[in-house]
Amino acid sequence: MRYLKLLLIFVLLSFAMAPEMKLKRVAKDIYMVRGVDALPSVENRGFMSNAFAVLTKEGWVVIDALSTPELSKEFVDNLYRVKKAPIKYAIITHYHPDHYYGAKTYKDLGATIIAHEKLLEFYRSGDAQQTLQAQKERFKGLFDKVVLVPPDRTVKDRLTLKVGGKTFELISMTPAHTNSDLVVYMPEEKVLFAGDLLYMNRIPFMGDRNASSKGWVEALRKIRDMDIKVVLAGHNEPMGKESIDFTLGYINFLRDNIKRLKEEGKSLDEIKELLKNNPYAKYVMYDVFHNANVFKIYTELDMEE
Ligand SMILES: [Zn+2]
């Protein structure tokens, strides 16, 4: 009896904790859902990233696929409540699970899936399947329904899509957060869908094995030259161009300090300790990502020398 009571409390709590998906209109014809600031878990259903959709005269163009087919299905149900129009294109900003794993929902609805050519390479090499297997083990139950799909079209440098009166410029920004980063720019609206390249008051994740802090800095300089009014990224509320300075500030802070301390002959552990109290420690995801970022840049600087 006591066990049952505990179980009931646990079930009620996990319902209370599961973040609700709420579609928000962020500009004319542009919608988003906002995931929580956390690592994926069964409790948050892996809903810890954003997805976006643009309504055109021909139908929807969606950007990113969330972590699971359950989540992307719920996202589409929300879109259909705004307008029951076909999902024409689904653009995947990079190969991370929280942006890619829900893609099959779109495919089943007839959408053309577009991603960087490196994502297709990742899929074909078998690495994608292996990563999924590892994620299934690590987060028991969360990714059980995930079926990976390859992109139907790929981008090497740049691709311009005209859909139902709207223009989408897909631009490669690799290597940066990963080796498969795409941003999507709408020139008339001056909106940039930035994937995981831009943040405000949140620590970026630079620990991916294909990440490059040097390439990321270059990507941010390119983005700075673009005429942008609104930045819509994978893990923040809508932002402005100040997000470029925030992200660049953190990356350069790490690169400059780690470089200096390495030249002084400090070890990785000493560097971690010396950089412990820093102005970024108060920001979201710092405890989860910061040390991984220090490690990544430390090893990256070895290669640059
Ligand atoms: Zn990512």
Distance (angstroms) between ligand 1 centre and the Cα of 54 equals 21
pLDDT value at position 12? Answer: 54
pLDDT value at position 196? Answer: 98
Distance (angstroms) between ligand 1 centre and the Cα of 4 equals 39
pLDDT value at position 6? Answer: 61
Percentage, residues of the chain above pLDDT 90? 91
Strands (E), 39-190: 51-55, 60-63, 87-91, 112-116, 153-155, 158-163, 166-172, 182-186
Amino acid symbol at 40: P
* Range with the poorest average pLDDT among 6-15, 184-193, 213-222, 229-238: 6-15
Cα(201)–Cα(247) distance, integer angstroms:
9
Distance (angstroms) between ligand 1 centre and the Cα of 94 equals 7
pLDDT digits (tens, 9 = 90+) for 116-137: 999 999 999 999 999 999 999 9
Distance (angstroms) between ligand 1 centre and the Cα of 5 equals 39
Cβ-Cβ contacts under 8 Å for 71 (sequence gap 6 or more): 21, 45, 46, 47, 102
Could you state, in order of their start, the residue ranges of all structural domains in the chain?
10-172
The reported pTM is 0.93
pLDDT digits (tens, 9 = 90+) for 133-178: 999 999 999 999 999 999 999 999 999 999 999 999 999 999 999 9
Distance (angstroms) between ligand 1 centre and the Cα of 177 equals 7
Distance (angstroms) between ligand 1 centre and the Cα of 304 equals 24
pLDDT value at position 18? Answer: 72
Distance (angstroms) between ligand 1 centre and the Cα of 284 equals 15
Distance (angstroms) between ligand 1 centre and the Cα of 67 equals 11
> Residue ranges of the alpha helices (H) in the chain?
2-17, 69-82, 97-100, 103-108, 117-125, 127-138, 213-224, 242-263, 268-274, 286-304
Distance (angstroms) between ligand 1 centre and the Cα of 205 equals 7
pLDDT digits (tens, 9 = 90+) for 28-61: 999 999 999 999 999 999 999 999 999 999 999 9
For residue 250, pLDDT beyond 70 = yes
Distance (angstroms) between ligand 1 centre and the Cα of 293 equals 13
Distance (angstroms) between ligand 1 centre and the Cα of 102 equals 14
pLDDT value at position 5? Answer: 65
Distance (angstroms) between ligand 1 centre and the Cα of 264 equals 33
For residue 13, pLDDT beyond 60 = no
Q: Are 227 and 190 in contact (CB under 8 A)?
A: yes
* Range with the poorest average pLDDT among 1-10, 75-84, 200-209: 1-10
For residue 84, pLDDT beyond 80 = yes
* CATH class of segment(s) 10-172: alpha beta
